[in-house]
Amino acid sequence: MLSVSVSGYLAAIRWEWFRLQRRVGFWAVIAIFGLAVALSLVGAIASQSFLPTRFNLPAHAFPNVVFETLARLGPFFSVVLAGFVFGAEFGWGTWRTLSARGRGREQIVLPKMLLGGCVLVVVWATAWCASSLVGLVAGGSSATELGTALPGFPDGWGATAINFWSTLPAAAAYLTLGVLLCMAGRSTAFGVGVGIAIVIAESAGIPLLRALAALWWEVDLDGYLRWTLRGVSDGLSGKDELHSAVFLPALLAYMTVFCTVSLWIIRIRDLDSGNG
Amino acid sequence: MTDDSRAASGAVAVEVKGLTKTFGRVRAVDGIDLSIPAGGVFGVLGPNGSGKTTLLSMLAGFIGPSSGDLNLMGQSGVAGLQDARARMGALIERPIFWPYLSCRDNLKALQGIYGCSGGSEEIAGMLSMVGLDGDAAGRKFRNCSTGMKQRLGIAATLLGDPSLIILDEPTNGLDPAGIIEVRELIRSLGRSETPDRGGSRTVILASHLLNEVEQVCDQVGILDKGKLLYSGPVAEMGGRRAVFVRTTDDSQAADLLRKAGWDVRDDDEVGLEVTVGEGREWEVSRVLAEAGVYIAEMRAVGGTLEAVFLDVTAGQETGC
């Protein structure tokens, strides 16, 4: 299955990127995501100036502000990215083009997944660098300033980094979910549409379900709902009382299952010629 | 390699046994046994829906057979077929490319993806060969005409100098000059050798146009309703029983000839193909002249597909 050399996979990733970087829509999504990150930083800067009690947020608080944005929007970004990298090939029929000349289906899917992962890493790294830079310029210089006392802010760069980067595996898990949905539905519209619906349902519906269950039936659903994809990703970033070491294997298990099923689907299915 | 030496070598490019593909209750390909010799052009002839595209899609690996054995260039099994398909170029159903890329970038991407080593010179050569050089090379695929897309599809199949080329109705959408060029190209490909391996190249051409197969192919397999009706030399597949007629009023001529009981095909848009009995071609001119429709051109052509089917099936029924 993995008979192709590492150089073969690297070349495949290169040519995936060759095509992805020429898509205007891809850059539009990156721009929207970047705008959301920028706005959160602007908001943090503004909060220092316009609050009645003027204070300086510590520098490391700025990446933490961005972390909140990434945690909320990251799953949406990942699902849309999956649509760009995987789903669109169904509509164009280019799965056939890619699988010509005896290329195994895994030789197509794995480089695409790796490219998706690389894009996430680059986007996250850019957001980290940008927010850290803004923090160093606009934030307070001391960790003892008022910002550290505010609830929810980590007490140093190390804790901030853990928070920030914990959203990356969570985003990767949603990327694999998006891939699975695109593969199962053979379309971008299905994959992205259902993926976004799942993200919204998890974000909004699950807390509602939890509250209703507790209120009406006096049942505590926490134990169950914690193991949804969202629950696991929140748990990884320290929003749950369980240690993150429990959540990381769970997230990896989700990703492994999603990737394996996606690969299985594309291997057993006939490839049609798309719809133009 | 000459035709004689090819035949003498006995090498087989494609061999299928009991190949079947079902879609639900429909048997698109129904237990086909077929052997395609290496070298030359092999035609797969049949009307729309006869199973040509499904058969070729199975050869290319786009769809999996429901049952049966497949051997490509002497190789079988998953790994063997994958290796053989690495030396196969295929244009099946329609040209499929990334719509937002230019013709040149599409070929560049495919060259990289397939691991072909020809570089930009190979791409320029391919584009030039199919008439897509100059401004056309930079045009985005989504903005190309049907003919340009078809030409790009043919260029893509030739990347990396494959040993086996599969072309599914490659002249669709081409203008008459383009059709002639492509047919000539296919003929020359079938006569050429693969330089890096010294072997003969095989071209499989699927078509529903009998005259195209007659002009281009050495051997032919005739499909209908998923079954192989005939496989063998083109020259032996059926009688020449049709005339091509171009008149002062093709529409009226078609009506007149149909009323006279002849089978008339007018899907070529530049004339009529009339199936006639042996030695009765003169009756066509008489019927038309009596009605005041005059013939501008009349020549014998290969029999219609239906006529060939009749010949083939009649041969099967009588055990010939």
Confidence of residue B1 (pLDDT cuts 50, 70, 90): very low
What's the complex ipTM?
A: 0.83
Q: If you average pLDDT over residues B310-316, what whole number do you get?
A: 61
Residue A148: pLDDT over 60 = no
Mean pLDDT score across all residues of chain A: 85
**Contact check, Cβ <8 Å, A101/B160:** yes
Residues A178-207: pLDDT tens digits? 999 999 999 999 999 999 999 999 888 888
Question: A15-29, A214-228, B149-163, B306-320 — which is least confidently predicted?
Answer: B306-320
**B24/A contact by beta carbon, under 8 A:** no
Flag whether pLDDT at B266 surpasses 50.
yes
Residue B198 has pLDDT above 60, yes or no: no
Cross-chain CB nearest to B62 (options A8, A14, A96): A96
| pLDDT tier, B305 (very low <50, low <70, confident <90, very high otherwise) | low
Residue A240 pLDDT > 90, yes or no? no
pLDDT exceeds cutoff 90 at B260: no
**Residues 220 to 239 of B: which have CB under 8 A from any A CB?**
none
Chain A residues whose CB is inside 8 A of the B108 CB are: 18
Beta strands in chain B (DSSP E): 12-23, 26-37, 40-45, 67-72, 88-91, 164-168, 193-194, 199-200, 202-207, 219-224, 227-233, 242-247, 263-265, 272-275, 295-301
For residues B12-27, give the mean pLDDT.
93
Cβ neighbours of B101 in A, within 8 Å = 19, 22
pLDDT (0 to 100) of residue A55: 64
Residues of A in contact with B109 (CB under 8 A): 15, 18-19
B134: number of Cβ within 10 Å: 10
Q: Please state, in angstroms and rounded to a whole number, the distance separating the CA atoms of residues B38 and B53.
A: 20
Contact assignment for B100 to A22 by CB distance below 8 Å:
yes
Strands (E) across A114-264 are located at: none
Please indicate whether residue A159 or residue A2 has the higher confidence score (pLDDT). A159
Q: Structure tokens of A198?
A: 């799942």
pLDDT at A213: 79
How far apart are alpha carbons A219 and A224 in whole angstroms? Answer: 11
Lowest mean pLDDT among A20-29, A46-55, A249-258, B7-16: A46-55
Q: Which residue of B has its CA nearest to A269?
A: B63
Among B13, B46, B43, B41, which residue's Cα sits nearest to residue B29? B46
pLDDT at B261: 83
Q: In the prediction, which pLDDT does B283 show?
A: 87
CA distance B289 to chain A (A): 47
Give A144's pLDDT tier (boundaries 50, 70, 90).
very low
Residues in chain A, total: 276
Q: How far is A89 from chain B (nearest CA, A)?
A: 8
Q: Which two tokens stand for residue A267?
A: 């291997």
Nearest CA distance, A51 vs chain B (angstrom): 49
Among B73, B76, B88, B96, pick the best mutation site for testing chain A contact (most A Cβ within 10 A): B96
Gap between the Cα atoms of A114 and A14, Å rounded: 11
pLDDT tens-digit profile of A84-111?
Answer: 999 899 999 999 999 999 888 889 999 9
DSSP helix/strand/coil, A254: helix
Integer Cα distance of B268 and A174 in angstroms: 53
For range A144-149, the mean pLDDT: 48
Which pLDDT value is given to residue B217? 92
